[in-house]
Amino acid sequence: MASNNKPPVAGIRVPPPQLRAFVADLFSRVDMPPDRCAEMADYLVRSDLRCVFSHGTSQAPGYARAMREGRINPAPEISVIEDSAAATVVDGDGSLGYFACHEAMKITIRKALTTGTAAATTTNHHHFGAAGTWSRCALESDCIGLAVSSNRFVPNPERSVLDAVTWGPFSIAVPAGEQPPFVFDGGGFDLPYSEERFGEAPSPFFKGFGVNVAVTILGGLLAGIYRQELMESRDGWQSNQGAFVAVFNVSHFMRVDDFKAEMDRYINDVGKTIPLPGSDEAVLPGGLEHRWQLENERDGIPVSDRHRERLEEAAEEFGVKAPFGCCRPFG
């Protein structure tokens, strides 16, 4: 979990609809169509609801500036460029990766409901946000979702082999019954490297390197972002990223109710174990985010002073009204 991806100790509580309206208004100032503005606002506010602030509304000002500067396409035409029974390739048309990944997951879930498993790659786009945004899409259909992403780069021959990868995100989401779903959502496996640390414990470095290579291959090479025709952007957009998503239909492996009961049993067993240092309870990834989302939908999103300042600066810069005037302080 990123250091800021937890509820702040002080700030203001912002009702989610107000924050959505603000973000949508912000994107409208850079020629994004109204439906896309609403879509982006919903994605970013959902991340804030889960306290995944690193990939929530704090990203909006940077995205808007990139669109204003002509680096990201604000009004893309998303297209399917390869299609088969269980696989799809989606072109993002130089836009943010959210739109291509939304289309990819929608198609992949539909296919997996019939085939049992399905996958897709997305290409020719920019940042796709939190990987968990996309893995979670499968949960409503009682499926397991997986999402990874990578950006185009060339390894530096003067650097360590451990740096010959991208630190792309990886997420897997698994449905449960009465318990919250399991959702692992994290960036690349990153350990502070030194020859001394490597000599004392080489195994974590090898394992982390292997995971990062797999993410680089699936979210980058397989997504086609190194194809020669994409190395130079076709239309001037900064579209150097790709993604891989997959969906596994639980009902093609076992009865859904039986699987969810097994997940609940396992999650309950985990909850009886000794928590990690600094934690009050033993909980699987996704459990805290589920709890925070329910609390924040009821009480409002906790926005820290720094988060508020960033959004207020963007409001002034783009000529929109900040939504914080009547918000309740806390802490």
- Residue 155 belongs to a domain with what CATH number? 3.30.1370.60
Among the candidates 232, 256, 271, a domain finishes at: 271
Contact at 8 Å (CB) between 148 and 219?
yes
> What does pTM read for this prediction?
0.93
On whether both 244 and 112 belong to a single domain, the answer is yes
Q: Which pLDDT tens digits describe the chain residue by residue (331 residues)?
A: 455 789 999 999 999 999 999 999 999 999 999 999 999 999 999 999 999 999 999 999 999 999 999 999 999 999 999 999 999 999 999 999 999 999 999 999 999 999 999 999 999 999 999 999 999 999 999 999 999 999 988 888 888 888 888 888 999 999 999 999 999 999 877 777 778 888 888 888 888 888 999 999 999 999 999 877 666 655 557 789 999 999 999 999 999 999 999 999 999 999 999 999 988 999 999 999 999 999 999 999 999 999 999 999 999 999 999 989 889 999 8
On whether both 109 and 143 belong to a single domain, the answer is yes
On whether both 129 and 260 belong to a single domain, the answer is yes
On whether both 146 and 240 belong to a single domain, the answer is yes
SS3 (DSSP) at 123? strand
The domain of 261 spans 79-271
How many whole angstroms from its chain centre is CA 71? 21
How many whole angstroms from its chain centre is CA 201? 31
Q: Is residue 171 part of a domain?
A: yes
Length of the chain: 331
Total Cβ atoms within 10 A of residue 81: 12
Contact at 8 Å (CB) between 175 and 258?
no
Inter-CA distances, 69 with 29, 31, 82, 151, 262, Å: 12, 12, 31, 20, 51
Q: How many domains would you assign to the chain?
A: 2
On whether both 135 and 209 belong to a single domain, the answer is yes
Q: Is residue 293 part of a domain?
A: no
Per 3-state DSSP, the chain is made up of helix, strand and coil in percentages (nearest 5) of: 45, 15, 35
On whether both 87 and 164 belong to a single domain, the answer is yes
Among the candidates 226, 251, 271, a domain finishes at: 271
Q: Is residue 281 part of a domain?
A: no
d(CA 31, CA 98): 17
Going by C-alpha positions, the residue among 291, 54, 18, 271 that lies closest to residue 180 is 291
On whether both 83 and 143 belong to a single domain, the answer is yes
64: domain CATH number is 1.10.1530.10
On whether both 185 and 36 belong to a single domain, the answer is no
On whether both 128 and 179 belong to a single domain, the answer is yes
Helices (H), the chain: 16-28, 34-49, 60-68, 97-115, 131-135, 195-200, 202-216, 228-231, 256-271, 287-299, 305-318
Structure tokens at 212: 């990062």
